[in-house]
Amino acid sequence: MVFSSLTFLFFFFPLTLILCFARKGIRWRNGVLLAASLLFYAWGEPIWVLAMIGSSAVNFFCAKKIVHTRVKRERKMWMIIGVATSAALLFAFKYAAFFANTFLALVGVKTRVAGPELPIGISFYTFQVITYTVDVYRRKTRAQKYFSRLLLYVSCFPQLIAGPIVQYSDIAAQIGRRETTPDGFAQGMQRFVIGLGKKVIFANICGSALTAMPLAGGGAALSVGGAWYAAFLYTLQIYFDFSGYSDMAIGIGRILGFSYKENFTYPYVSRSVREFWRRWHISLGSFFRDYVYIPLGGNRRGLKRTIANTLIVWMLTGLWHGANWTFVTWGLFYGLLLTLDLLFLRKVTEKLPAALNWVITMALVMVGWVIFYYPTLGQAMSHIGAMFGLGASGLMDAASLRIIRTYSFFPLIAFIASLPVAPLISRAAPSLALTGRRLEVGRAVWLSACLVLSVLFLVGQSYNPFIYFQF
């Protein structure tokens, strides 16, 4: 089940809210939410819900042992057992076949190992349960007394499938005690509608345009202009798809009394790659910083160790996204850029105009998304080559030009919508006499139009999962 489906919008979500608010009391609401979350996950994959429950149960047990053990070595042992169990489960499903096939290819064996079906969202909930056990070990938070509450944290349907990755210490108090208010409900619904519009209108239309592009052989059939246009479309699609899901997750959480941290803060205004990754998928960056980079030594052990730690983190970031060498390359691409930035690029870019830094950053980000998009490195390199004139079929090809004309100015409108236009309007509202009732009426009309338009788009669409469901 996905947020952007008629089943969710008109059956699952309303029914969950009705049952949640039918009675007061945190036990009732947690019980309803846990049952709804397990049903949400099991809707399409009933068997794999057992993997999530099993991973949570092992870490619940290990955290209990950590708390009741005073010997440091034993506490560390139980922490390692909990983390290793969840990591092993993730490895078995996601990476075992990949590494086996890589080894077989290196030794010249043509046989390939077929991997198991990948449970949806396993990377997200694995990281979340790991934060619980590690935070208990670090004494950053207390161990949960009730397994049902830990399982609710791991399985809570708003952020279960595609994040944001919620660290246990950030949400622990809210599991046992949270407030739901009319203002919170209204704010959450507004955020949900905005996210729905991002996904159904902007992401899906950009995705349709991208699908129509001649990309079957990578960039081989593309012109220079067509290659850049395709990269631009995917840059928009992945932003609106993923940030739209995050908006909906944050909105639903707000309705239910949870406060999730922001996952995106207008990444396409960035003027450096470093700034881009402070604005994009913030929860993933926070996880790798807190649970990988800093434990490795961070930047406290000299320049060489800092560079090594950076490259390790970004290789793992790439692998987290998928068992494919394109993702590893994508991660190392950013690791290399951030290393160069640390060594000398920062001193160079500080002297450049802000507009030029933005253009360079966006070009690098688009190149990165091309690597991320394709299933093979050959296709990605072919497309990137076409972007810079290598192997391109001229400056502009007929097929790309036809698609540009078909979709007209929509991608440009989508790009403008990815910028901080809403905050700008809010700041300008007083000078435009848009205050009080006028502002509220305008917001209500705009959100209603967004909801109606999104539903109309959904009626004519088939199943359209979010891009990050595959991770």
Task: List, by residue number, the catalytic residues.
Answer: 321
- 119 preceded by cis ω (within 30°)? no
Residue 291 CA, distance from chain mean position: 18
Say which residues have a Cβ less than 8 Å from residue 261's Cβ, sequence separation at least 6. Answer: 164, 166, 170, 282, 283
Q: With the C-alpha atoms ordered 49, 95, 134, 338, is the resulting torsion angle positive or negative? A: negative
Lookup result for tokens 């309303």: 14
221's tokens: 């059939």
Residues 6+ apart with CB under 8 A from 458: 4, 5, 6, 9, 200
Q: For residue 456, what are the CA distances in angstroms to 223, 242, 452?
A: 35, 21, 6
Of 63, 245, 79, 66, residue with least CA distance to 165: 245
Q: Where are the beta strands (DSSP E) in 234-299?
A: none
Residue 259 in tokens: 């406060």
C-alpha closest to that of 339 among 362, 369, 297, 309: 309
